Chains A and B, each alone.
Chain A
Amino acid sequence: MIREEETLSTTFERLQQLFVAHFDYNIEELTPTTTLENLGLDSLDIIEFMFDIENEFNIRIPDREFKVTTIQDMVDALDRFISEQDSEQDIGSSIHE
């Protein structure tokens, strides 16, 4: 069950919380223009972090489709995946009906 405050949070805010929980960053460090490189994260860190992102947003990120530089890039990509997968589910359920 999704808690009310989460439904009200933006993708950016949810991502911020995940960054803090996963890497112990201060929330002030995490602005839309912050780059992952600034945060000292390498490709392996991102692969690992994607696991938590998938859990949080209840999505599956396809291989090779998460090319991001800034936190805003991540937000945009996530919003795209979320809407794509929502519409896939809608199509799936309408066919089923």
Chain B
Amino acid sequence: MKRRVAVTGLGIISPCGNTIDDFSSNLMAGKSGVRRISSAYSSLLSVKIAAEVDFSPLDYFIKKQLSGMDRVSQFALAAASQAWKDSELSLDAKEKERAGVYMGCGMGGGNAIEDLYDQLFKHNADRVKPLTVLMVMNNASASHISIEYGLSGPCLTLSTACASSANAIGEAFRQIRDGYADVMLAGGAEAFLTYGGFRSWEALRILAAEDPGDPSKSCKPFSKNRTGLVLGEGAAMVVLEEMERAVRRGAPVYAELIGYGSTSDAGHITRPSLEGQARAMAEALKDAGLLPEDIDYINAHGTATEWNDLLETQAIKKVFGDYACRVPVSSTKSMHGHTMGAAGAMEFIVSLLAIRNQAVPPTTNLDQPDPECDLDYVPNIGRTGVTVNTVMSNAFAFGGTNAALIARKVKG
């Protein structure tokens, strides 16, 4: 029999709050983290909104730690520390060898690399900050976490753009299930709200236009008047633990992670494929040994781009058949924006909170139904007092990578 995997700790740094409880209550209340950006270069941009994290590094770190750490690793460590504390884990030296870190990150130390180029090309510097390499490298966050907690098992960084941290959690799940590790800190982080970052996304012409009445309502997944995605940042981490171990020590168990699907479109670098998305969801169901009707809530990838929302709707219909119209599906990106490498983990946490709270968060800003997007997207108002035993979380990425995770409430 395969080993079972429990989720025993959660941590988050997000545009909708820097604690799990704030994040949870803000999403249920439909409170958006999207706002006008305040940086010096914002006047140069055509799109001036984003979902920024309100974060004071000195609340989490001493000055000496910060000099070699990009914002992305600061987020990652802050979220990891919450998750670790939440899990109430204490490992001895031998147990630490069976504990690892899997992180998802799309762009690495984006702020450090921008600072580097600014110094070199704009200010003609003849030398740059000594720790630049260590701030820019994409595996910095995972390594900092591994060092902080002494976790000496596998330590990998997965980079699959917007699916990065869903893949990280899925692959970490397999590490435990297949017996390579007993404990994994898994999740993702992203901090790419830089001038170059905004310009790069702007150039792809898929950023949402600012809502003329209220900037916080600019991201409108599945709505007829959707105009694109809103960039976000943050980090989300979970502690995964072999179930018997978790039960034996009386750990708080949020849910059991039971299914993971991972596919590639092998098609187009940006345009998603119905087939690829549907196969990821179907694989996750098969992995979990479930039928579509067993899923009580889907957290959609739901970017609010023309292509994603249409194809994801069709892919859900393909996998879920008649049941597709009855299962609640929401995109919380309407509130926390698209946090890229952190998105898969952040939205997996949203799904776990739906189990904890027995409540489903809304898709906000859904005011104009799109005839081609005709599922139950939980428009604008969250639902409390509903039965949520089993959840699916989707993450689809540029490059064509698709991931789906399924978790189930633990009876007890």
| CB–CB B64/A45 < 8 A | yes
Complex CA gap A60/B63 in Å reads 25
| CB–CB B68/A48 < 8 A | yes
Given A23-B63, A24-B62, A24-B63, is A51 in contact with B68 using a C-beta cutoff of 8 Å?
no
Given A50-B130, A51-B130, is A24 in contact with B64 using a C-beta cutoff of 8 Å?
yes
- A8 contacts B by Cβ under 8 Å: no
- B38 contacts A by Cβ under 8 Å: no
Residues of B within 8 A of A23 (CB): 63-64
| CB–CB A48/B130 < 8 A | yes
- A91 contacts B by Cβ under 8 Å: no
- A44 contacts B by Cβ under 8 Å: yes
Residues of A within 8 A of B130 (CB): 47-48, 50-51
Residues of A within 8 A of B67 (CB): 22, 48
How many contacting A-B pairs (Cβ < 8 A)? 23
Complex CA gap A60/B125 in Å reads 13
Task: Say how far B133's CB is from chain A's closest CB, in angstroms.
Answer: 11
Complex CA gap A22/B127 in Å reads 19
Residues of B within 8 A of A48 (CB): 67-68, 129-131
Residues of A within 8 A of B63 (CB): 22-24
**Contact flags A1-37 to B (C-beta < 8 A → 1, else 0):** 0000000000000000000001110000000000000
| CB–CB A51/B62 < 8 A | no
Size of interface on B: residues with Cβ below 8 Å to A: 9
Complex CA gap A48/B127 in Å reads 12
Mostly, the B contact residues are loop
Complex CA gap A45/B127 in Å reads 17
The residue on A at minimum CB distance from B128 is A51
Residues of B within 8 A of A51 (CB): 127, 129-130
| CB–CB A44/B131 < 8 A | yes
Residues of A within 8 A of B129 (CB): 48, 51
Residues of A within 8 A of B131 (CB): 44, 47-48
Complex CA gap A47/B134 in Å reads 13
Complex CA gap A24/B67 in Å reads 13
The residue on B at minimum CB distance from A46 is B130
Complex CA gap A22/B64 in Å reads 7
Residues of B within 8 A of A22 (CB): 63, 67
Residues of B within 8 A of A50 (CB): 130
Which residue in A24, A44, A54, A60 is a CB contact (below 8 Å) of B68?
A44
The residue on B at minimum CB distance from A50 is B130
**Contact flags A33-63 to B (C-beta < 8 A → 1, else 0):** 0000000000011011011001000001000
The residue on B at minimum CB distance from A24 is B63
Residues of B within 8 A of A44 (CB): 68, 131
Q: Which of B109-128 contact A (CB under 8 A)?
A: 127
Task: Say how far B125's CB is from chain A's closest CB, in angstroms.
Answer: 11
Task: Say how far A23's CB is from chain B's closest CB, in angstroms.
Answer: 6
The residue on B at minimum CB distance from A51 is B130
Complex CA gap A51/B129 in Å reads 7
Complex CA gap A47/B67 in Å reads 12
Complex CA gap A54/B127 in Å reads 10
Task: Say how far B62's CB is from chain A's closest CB, in angstroms.
Answer: 7
Q: Which of B50-74 contact A (CB under 8 A)?
A: 62-64, 67-68
The residue on B at minimum CB distance from A49 is B130
Complex CA gap A54/B34 in Å reads 42
Task: Say how far B70's CB is from chain A's closest CB, in angstroms.
Answer: 14
Complex CA gap A44/B129 in Å reads 12
Task: Say how far A7's CB is from chain B's closest CB, in angstroms.
Answer: 25
Task: Say how far A81's CB is from chain B's closest CB, in angstroms.
Answer: 15
Complex CA gap A44/B63 in Å reads 15
Interface set of A (CB-CB < 8 Å, partner B): 22-24, 44-45, 47-48, 50-51, 54, 60
13 new A-B contacts, CB < 8 A, other than A23-B63, A51-B129, are A22-B63, A22-B67, A24-B62, A24-B64, A44-B68, A45-B64, A47-B131, A48-B67, A48-B68, A48-B129, A48-B130, A50-B130, A60-B127
Interface set of B (CB-CB < 8 Å, partner A): 62-64, 67-68, 127, 129-131
Offer 23 A-B interface pairs, CB within 8 angstroms, sorted by A: A22-B63, A22-B67, A23-B63, A23-B64, A24-B62, A24-B63, A24-B64, A44-B68, A44-B131, A45-B64, A47-B130, A47-B131, A48-B67, A48-B68, A48-B129, A48-B130, A48-B131, A50-B130, A51-B127, A51-B129, A51-B130, A54-B127, A60-B127
What are the 9 A-B residue pairs with the smallest beta carbon separation, nearest first? A48-B130, A47-B130, A51-B130, A24-B63, A48-B131, A23-B64, A48-B67, A51-B129, A48-B68
